[in-house]
Structure 1
Amino acid sequence: MQSRPPPFRLSGLMAVLGMAVMAIGLITMLLLAEIRFVAWGLLALGAILLAFALIMDFRRVSATLTRRQGRLRFGTSVMASIFLAITILANAISITNYQRFDTTSLGQFTLTDQTKDMLAALREPVEALAFYEPGDPIGSYAANLLTEYESHTNKLSHRVIDPVVHPDQARRFGIGQFPAFVFQSQERRRVVLPQDVIVLGEEAITFEVEHPFSSALLEVTEVAQKKVYFLTGHGEHDINSDYRLARKGLLDDLYLVGTLNLITAPAIPADTAALIIAAPKTALSGSEVQSIDTYLKSGGQVLILTDPDFPDGLNQIVSAWGIDLENGMVIDPASNLAPRKDTPVVSLNRNAFGLPTTYFPGAIALVPRKEMPESVGARPLLVTSTSSWLEKEYNPSVEPTFDEGKDVKGPLSLGILIAAPPPAGPPDNKTTRLVVIGDSDFASSQHIVNVNNGDLFLNSVAWLAEETQLITIRRNVLPFRQLVVDPSQANFMRFSSIVLLPLLVLLIGGIIWWRRR
């Protein structure tokens, strides 16, 4: 007759098996959260096996626990079990209830308020595909940002695809440059390429991801975007050349940007959120002035940027709203971009948008009339210092001096905000808004990236379009950060991580063992 195995051997086998099953369950829960119900089942099975092992060998266990050494081991086991239970419970809770904290210096993983609002308003599912090779800094950052997007909506999901491992999927979307990102809904698709996220500055290359992603989401979900037009046909700044960065800033703020020629277009489109007149060199025709005046009187929004020696037509437009353009050159000896006294600097306390520093290379003055038209409200946007004046006969080769009786003493208005109910149409029409700034070069690609010049331009458009939240939110441009080390430093980093750290652990362990010995 075959003898039955001793109970303690069977109980020991069940105990080992129970701990193994619980370990597998814990690993499954940590690594495969999507099948956590299986993990919970394994943990429960392991606990049952351990309970049966304890019951089957209860006498031996109780005898062991009566000894001092047994009690110490039991106490250690209980503490380890409690720690393990707390870890499992915390992990289970964090799967469905978690909070992300952005501790980066630039807040690079924190979404802007308009993006959060846009995500909350998504009504159809969107899938994002991120094509990049492992280790790509832009791709890694973008994937992390997409995870942040997903935390604000259940309508967005994303996958990371290695184009080297899966080149067929990249070819399917016609992608040949990486990193690239595809946003697709049921009916629409948008591909974001490297040139859409890389910003080429004068001194460094940076990248900006959030606004291209948000713009792509708006496009594939067919959410209407506000339209901004630049007037053309009179030698204005070109949005594909010296106003290229101004155009990109508007695109980043989720506007649609186009050009408008009032010689060929019958009228200003009704869906225009803002019309920008950026320093025309030749005169506007009577019909163009009439079109702009009609648009303003119907509740339109216009941004006028002008320089010294402005052409005919501009003064006619703004004078109807109680403002006169005063030709000349603003000189500010007390607050300027040294050594150029003809480049006044406007500081925080003289800027209605609260921007710390803006400057204007070659500006004229704006003069509000003493008696403004009825219901028209004018507010200074930019004001020079009390030491400034308007040089009426400016000669760049001669040191400017104030001439009493000829020049205009400061402080002077370089920018003015105008708001009024539209004279034409019912009272429920949009408010007429007009921004006039006596300089256009501050928004050129040469100057818009400096200090707060870009913020001034974009805030002016946001004020016109009544996007007040954009006045306090600007794009989050992130620089490339590269760690440069010489060969000796690289060898030290490699040696310290592979050899020194393990030796340090062994040393600490040896000291503890020696003291307890």
Structure 2
Amino acid sequence: MKKIMEKFKGKINKKSLKYGSYSLAVTAVIIAIIVVLNALLGLDVLRDRLRFDITKNKRFSLSDTTIQILNELDKNIEVIILTEEKYFRDDSMGSEILEILKQYNLKSGGKVTTRFVDVVKDPTFITRELDPNQVMGIQTDSIIVKCENRIKVVSRNDMIEYDYYSYYYPTTAGMKIEQVFTSAIRNVTAEMSKKVYFVQGHGEKSVNSWYSEMKSAIVVNNYEIIEELTLQEPVPDDAAILFFLSPTDDLTVNELENLQAFLEKGGDAVFLFDVQKTTSKMPNFDSVFERYSLSLNNDMVYEFNQTRYLGSFENIIPKAVSNDVTRNLDPTSLTIYMTSCRSVNILKTSQQWIKTYPLFMTTDMAESVDSATKQTAKGPFCLGALSEYTAGLDESRIALIGNSLFVLDEWMSYTNYNGLRYIVSILNWMQDEADAVYIPSKSLTSEPINMSESTRFIAFIVLSFVLPLAIIGVGLFVWIRRKHL
């Protein structure tokens, strides 16, 4: 009997030892895998690559446009942030900027890097490395995008899209971090920036006071803005485009000559006119438009098609016509709203060196009222047009639009910011910058997850019963199996 018990005990010990050793080995392997995975996931490079952007508007992801630009980079780009790193990371906007810059580094294959410099500890860094002549306004907290000897200073304020609908003060509506950095990269890697001069002296509105969002969109798309140009003297040789923002007075003879000389040398111009409060004519402006087979009516257009106006008949939703300006856009989805518009005529011409294109159109249900005679006319009406003139020394292009309010800060915050895309696309068409595009901002709006009643019921059943029972079932299965080993 004793021998039998010893034999049975030996079998039990061997069996227990066998399965105990197996369990120990499995446990050791699992612990080793967990340790290795934890170590790998702790590496910054791998952790950043494994991150997923689950925000609805892909707030922390880069657009296809930016990724393509980064893939084509053949130079190294350095983003220099002039502040202490810890202070920048602790700030909510600073941390978001760094998250976006990580994506620039990853998508560029390491060509875009970020560096912090504490100018308090190194007070000579700005004059030594960036701005020896101290003419660029670089200071503590500035952000610089640098490529070889070219630099572009960007600010946090440029990265914020404001909503001007509030009567008291603007509020933050979105972030333009990607737009600012991508445009800065294009700027420092481009051969040169084209200059856009905003003309003054004819009652034009201030671009800073009324059209700051448009100004920002133009600047971040690699154009340099020069304000308050007068046409009393010849247009500077470095001017690429002249911009007229809602003039109310006519050109003088001298100004007309200087403008025509600029256009004849291949210069381009954008004219945005609004409904006039007076019936006085502008024959000198008209002569410029006539040279391009265009004319501007002194009227106001009303749209009576119920699907093509917003709230009232003067708030028109025009149709964007397919042409070289809109081919890089999607006019069917990029709806714009134009309030209080004048109509533009495209004149018939047999001159082969003039090409005209409608840009914005009403329906045939629209009507116009002449500001002087009060006579009405039936649509459809052209609210904006483009023209190319190729008979001069160089090809010249103009855009004539009977409205400037569609890119007014306050009006866009009430409707949308699509007007900026058309303005930037017009400038790109004039300068043959077909690849430069407007990158929209990322909204800060957080939308709740909406679930139907049936979906909520299913989620409740799964989380309250199915999942717990599954866990208990697995546990019972393992316990019973091990009990019978």
> Would the TM-score normalized by the shorter structure come out above 0.5?
yes
Counterpart pick for 1:463 among 406, 419, 429: 429
What secondary structure sits across from 1:290 in the alignment?
Answer: helix
Deviation of the 1:424 alpha carbon: 2.0
Q: 2:215 aligns with which of 242, 247, 251?
A: 247
- Aligned-pair CA distance for 1:239: 1.3
Partners of 1:459 and 1:411 in 2: how far apart? Answer: 24
Deviation at 1:153, TM superposition (A): 4.9
Change (3 A) 1:320 1:208: same
**1:436 maps to 2:400:** yes
2:264 maps to which residue? 297
Matches within 5 A, 1:282-293: 282-293=249-260
Q: What is aligned with 1:200?
A: 162
**Which 10-residue stretch deviates more, 228-237 or 204-213?**
204-213
Inter-partner Cα distance in structure 2 for 1:245 and 1:265: 29
Higher normalized contact order (CA 8 Å, seq sep 6+, divided by chain length)? 2
Is residue 252–residue 475 contact of structure 1 (8 Å, CA) maintained in 2?
no
The question of 1:110 aligning with 2:74 is answered no
Secondary structure of residue in 2 paired with 1:340: coil
Query: 1:475 aligned to 421, 440, 447, which one?
Result: 440
Is 1:146 aligned with 2:112?
A: no
Please give the per-residue CA displacement for 1:387-424, whole angstroms capped at 9, x wherever unaligned.
Answer: 112212489xxxxxxx9xx422100100112224x212
- 8 Å contact from structure 1 (residues 268, 292) kept in 2: no
Distance 1:477 1:313, change over 3 A: farther
Q: 1:129 corresponds to which letter in structure 2?
A: I
**Which residue among 72, 89, 114 is the counterpart of 1:158?**
114
Q: Does 1:276 align with 2:228?
A: no
Structure 1 residues 125 and 196, CA gap change in structure 2 (3 angstroms): closer
Matched, 1:370 2:348: yes
Separation in 2, partners of 1:515, 1:130:
59
- Which whole-Å CA distance do the structure 2 matches of 1:480 and 1:177 have between them? 31
Contact kept? 1:448, 1:454, Cα under 8 Å: no
The residue identity in structure 1 corresponding to 2:345 is V
Q: Is the 8 A contact 2:197 2:229 kept in 1?
A: no
**Which one has the largest radius of gyration?**
1
* In 2, Cα distance between equivalents of 1:111 and 1:278: 31
**Aligned twin of 1:357:** 335
Query: Which residue of structure 1 lines up, in the alignment, with residue 454 of structure 2?
Result: none
Within a 5 Å distance, the mapping from 1:45-444 to structure 2 comes to: 68-69=18-19, 72-73=22-23, 76=26, 80=30, 102-108=53-59, 109-111=61-63, 113=65, 116-117=68-69, 120-121=72-73, 123-124=75-76, 126-129=78-81, 131=83, 132-151=87-106, 152-159=108-115, 168=121, 180-184=142-146, 191-202=153-164, 204-205=171-172, 206-217=174-185, 223-259=191-227, 261-269=229-237, 271-309=238-276, 311-335=282-306, 337-347=309-319, 353=326, 354=331, 356-393=334-371, 406-420=375-389, 422-425=390-393, 429=394, 431-444=395-408
Give the match's secondary structure for 2:412: coil
What is the rounded CA distance, in whole Å, between the counterparts of 1:130 and 1:103 in structure 2?
A: 31
C-alpha separation between the residues in 2 aligned to 1:190 and 1:383?
39
Give aligned pairs, total: 414
Change (3 A) 1:348 1:382: closer
* Same amino acid, percent of matched pairs: 19
TM-fit CA distance, 1:260: 5.4
Question: Residues 207, 394 of structure 1: CA spacing in aligned structure 2 closer, same or farther, 3 A cutoff?
Answer: farther
Q: Aligned-residue CA RMSD in angstroms?
A: 4.4
Give the distance between the partners of 2:410 and 2:97, measured in 1 at CA.
29
Cα distance in 2, alignment partners of residues 172 and 327 from structure 1: 57
Q: Which amino acid aligns with 1:291?
A: N
Larger mean CA deviation between 199-208 and 238-247 belongs to: 199-208
**Residue type of the partner of 2:194?**
K
- The one-letter amino acid paired with 2:248 is K
Deviation at 1:373, TM superposition (A): 2.7
Aligned-residue offset at 1:332 = 1.2
The two structures have a TM-score, normalised by structure 1, of 0.67
Deviations 1:299-355 (A, max 9, x none): 332111112346332211111111121221111122554443223221467897315
d(CA) in 2 for partners of 1:170, 1:333: 64
Unaligned runs of 5+ in 2: 1-12, 127-136, 449-466
- Aligned residue identity for 1:474: I
Of the structure 1 ranges 367-376 and 325-334, higher mean CA displacement relative to structure 2 is found in 367-376
Q: Show CA shifts across 1:133-155 (max 9, x none).
A: 44422111111111122221544
Higher mean alpha-carbon deviation, 272-281 vs 214-223, is at 214-223
Whole-angstrom CA distance in 1 between matches of 2:48 and 2:120: 37
- Tell me if structure 1 keeps the 8 A contact 2:361–2:383: yes
